[in-house]
Amino acid sequence: MTTLIKGARLYGEDPVDVVLKDGVITSVGEHLSVPTAEVIDADGLIALPGLVDLHTHLREPGREDTETVETGSRAAALGGFTAVHAMANTDPVADTAGVVEQVWRLGQEAGLVDVIPVGAVTVGLAGERLAELGAMADSAARVRVFSDDGRCVADPALMRRALEYVKALDGVVAQHAEEPRLTVGAQMNEGDRSARLGLGGWPAAAEESIIARDVLLAGHVGARLHVCHVSTAGSVEILRWARSRGVQVTAEVTPHHLLLTDECVEGYDPVFKVNPPLRTDEDVHALRAALAEGVIDAVATDHAPHAVEDKECEWAMARPGMLGLEQALSVVVQTMVEPGLLDWRGVADRMSVRPAAIGRLPGHGRPLSPGEPANLVLLDPAARSVVDPAALASRSRNSPYAGRELPGRVVHTFLRGAQTVTDGKAVK
């Protein structure tokens, strides 16, 4: 099958034509014509490499009522993604070769994005014994990212051991940085507002103390560390210091931490309850600047679907987490591109190139050049729309962007040359 894309602005540059054949980009240039090709008019559309998410909760196995590999894959494709890492906090936990292979196979069957399972660091996420990291790495799922996300690997000796193992596997530990002893009863960012609202505080130091500890451990072991959902200005300072010392540490920020603050908590609507919590204006500013600078490497969604009964309830009872896949690119356009903090090449770097490199994913995050796999997204930067949770492909409805107008619309997504999204609609 051959596709001819007419007049796409690659990385926001001048319009060119692109030919996709047999899953590969075969030519890029002006006035191309291929008689038998399907033609896509990309007038006004920007082309980026297919987006890669390092942090997606797909809820299968175990909570298929809130998301499945298939529904989450559809949400991802609609968001412009061609690969997502599926977090391990499923039921059963993805802590064996059997479970990661099952998730990987379900992703293949859905066929909308490459679903890359994350393996748990510890058995059952219990933080006591290391899981079978080597068997997961050697399995068909080719696991390279290991995380107990949802929980912190709190024991420093176990964390050190995990770093030693992943080093031998060319893998990385993705840490959910939260010192559990400091967040007992935590409900929101700790500060004046938590005191006034009467909700338990989640102090910045609970995140920062773990990051500080872990960059020291990663430096000592000589292993790769990735920090999930960085949320505070202080964390950015620690990361900058660690990188200046040559520690192999990478980090991600979520779309919601780039856009929203703890002011959202004022109405006690649990759709804004998330872990780590929404922080302050100063934190948001520091996170945007760090992403622009590259001290934070990647945007990762932390897409966290939850059932209505777990979100439309009293704040303290609600589960933390929010949807992110379908609006991630729009939020980055609003918070980073429109204010001039990141150009389109920068978006490609932070949402595709670097996440693919961190996850050691061959075939993703590649340049839009002849000979490369045809994984790409075409978006309309000028389109604006109001988010309607009822219209989302996700099986859950807990979008923090409900009713918000956001810029940018994903029009087409291609996975190895096949359209997974056409005219803003998933093909299956």
Based on the residue annotation, tell me whether 148 is a catalytic residue of this protein: no
Is there binding between residue 176 and Zn ion (CB under 5 A)? yes
Strands 38-41 and 81-86: unpaired
Is there binding between residue 178 and Zn ion (CB under 5 A)? no
Binding-site string for Zn ion from residue 217 to residue 236, where x marks contact by CB under 5 A and - marks none? -----------x--------
Q: Which two tokens mark 63? A: 């909570």
- Tell me which residue has its CB nearest to ligand DOR: 321
Is there binding between residue 149 and ligand DOR (CB under 6 A)? yes
Is there binding between residue 273 and Zn ion (CB under 5 A)? no
Kindly indicate which of the ranges 65-73, 117-125, 319-327, 388-396 contains the residues binding ligand DOR, using the contact rule CB under 6 A. Answer: 319-327
Is there binding between residue 148 and Zn ion (CB under 5 A)? no
Is there binding between residue 86 and ligand DOR (CB under 6 A)? no
The alpha-helical segments, DSSP class H, found in 129-254 are 133-138, 156-168, 192-197, 204-221, 233-244
Say which of 53, 148, 214, 302 is annotated catalytic: 302
Q: Which of 66, 89, 396, 419 binds ligand DOR (CB under 6 A)?
A: 89
Q: Which one, of 259, 258, 251, 275, lies nearest residue 355 by Cα? A: 251
CA 320 – CA 226 distance, rounded (Å): 21
> Do 33 and 75 form a contact (C-beta atoms < 8 A)?
no
Residues in the chain: 428
> Do 321 and 275 form a contact (C-beta atoms < 8 A)?
yes
Taken in order 234, 240, 243, 245, the sign of the CA dihedral is: negative
Scanning the structure block, which residue is given the tokens 């939850």?
Answer: 306
Distance in Å, CB of 411 to ligand DOR, minimum: 30
CA 282 – CA 247 distance, rounded (Å): 26
Binding-site string for Zn ion from residue 312 to residue 351, where x marks contact by CB under 5 A and - marks none? ----------------------------------------
Is there binding between residue 55 and ligand DOR (CB under 6 A)? no
> Do 111 and 174 form a contact (C-beta atoms < 8 A)?
no
Identify what 89 binds: ligand DOR, Zn ion, none; CB under 5 to 8 Å per kind. ligand DOR
Binding site for ligand DOR (CB under 6 A): 57, 89, 149-150, 176, 274-275, 304, 319-321
Binding residues: 55, 57-59, 89, 149, 176, 229, 275, 302, 306, 320-321
Residues forming the active site: 302
